[in-house]
Amino acid sequence: MRVAAVILTFNEAARVRDCLESVRWADEIVVVDGYSTDGTPDIAREYTERIFLSDRLGPKNPGGYSDQRNFALENVTAPWAFFIDADERCTPELAAEIRKTLADGPCDDVAAYQMRRKEYFFGVHTPYTHGSGWLVRLLRTDRVRWNDRLVHEGIATTGTIRQLQGMLLHYSKDSIADYLATLNRYTSLEALELAKKDTPLLRHPLFESFRTFCNLYIYKGACREGAFGLIMSVFLANYTFQTWAKHWESEMKSGRIPATSPRFHALEFVAAALRSVWITLRPPRDF
């Protein structure tokens, strides 16, 4: 069972080499680049000739991440594709587990495997702020496609998804400015996704933002990570609010709502804040 390592890149010259080194074990390496201007493709050519250019992941992300991933799938010749981001690393343990799992012959109904990811921000492990949720990354190319979400995309398949025990390492963001640039890009795509599906405008954005903060900082324990936990809790609460603001802007410019609507009142925010504190006692949302 041959497997291809698939990497999407856009101006990742500072990080892509370590990623490529971590997947040298793969039978095939496919890089789909969004017309980088920092020499990323030149570095990739040291490891593979299978480099494809696509504008779906450029600065404006016209097609979103799912389109870029499906474009990559179309250019994979191996029956299995292992998707890894440029800021991630495949551990030797995970590589060995993937090789053994595919060599043993997966059941016919198995279409994909998911794995956990260990998070590092600014070079420091952040178990409370970002956790280690399951990510689907190993796919059968004839059974799986990425869904149509512009960002935070998932897969579409009728097959079974199983789990691997090995972990990816995720070295995300070297600066706050880098993180804020990503947040701005992602929230724009989230707002486009909401508009695309005619999702009603969020009725209580302050409540949802405050709830996000409480969930992360208190319930998930980001407060244990000091200043970093506080900063990230505020940023992710702002992610919720910024997505709503861009969705509101889209609705207003399209003429579906007046510029002065909806209106909010101070008592509504107080009630939302109290409800947010109470709701932290319930199971947290997935971010």
The rounded distance, in Å, linking the Cα atoms of 154 and 159 is 14
List beta partners, residue 146.
155
Per-domain residue ranges of the chain: 3-172, 176-279
pLDDT value, residue 287: 39
What is the pTM (predicted TM-score) of this model? 0.83
Q: Does residue 112 sit in helix, strand or coil?
A: strand
- DSSP H helices, 104-225, are 127-130, 176-196, 205-214
The rounded distance, in Å, linking the Cα atoms of 34 and 9 is 6
114 and 213 Cβ atoms separated by less than 8 Å: no
pLDDT value, residue 286: 47
For 42, counting Cβ atoms within 10 Å of its Cβ (0-12 exposed, 13-18 middle, 19+ buried), the class is exposed
Closest CA to 247 of 207, 213, 285, 197: 197
Q: Does residue 35 sit in helix, strand or coil?
A: coil
123-to-5, 8, 87, 138, 184 alpha-carbon distances in Å: 24, 22, 12, 26, 22
Across the range 164-185, mean pLDDT stands at: 90
The superfamily in CATH containing domain 3-172 is: Spore Coat Polysaccharide Biosynthesis Protein SpsA; Chain A (3.90.550.10)
pLDDT value, residue 15: 92
27 and 126 Cβ atoms separated by less than 8 Å: no
For the cut 60, the answer to whether the pLDDT of residue 204 exceeds it is yes
Closest CA to 21 of 74, 73, 72, 86: 86
pLDDT value, residue 273: 62
pLDDT value, residue 225: 92
* Window from 79-88, 136-145, 150-159, 162-171 with minimum mean pLDDT: 150-159
**What confidence tens digit (pLDDT) does each residue in 211-246 have?**
899 989 998 899 999 999 999 999 999 999 999 999
Q: What angle do CA 163, 174, 147 make, to 5 degrees?
A: 40
232 and 222 Cβ atoms separated by less than 8 Å: yes
* Window from 30-44, 116-130, 156-170 with minimum mean pLDDT: 116-130
* Percentage of residues of the chain with pLDDT beyond 70: 88
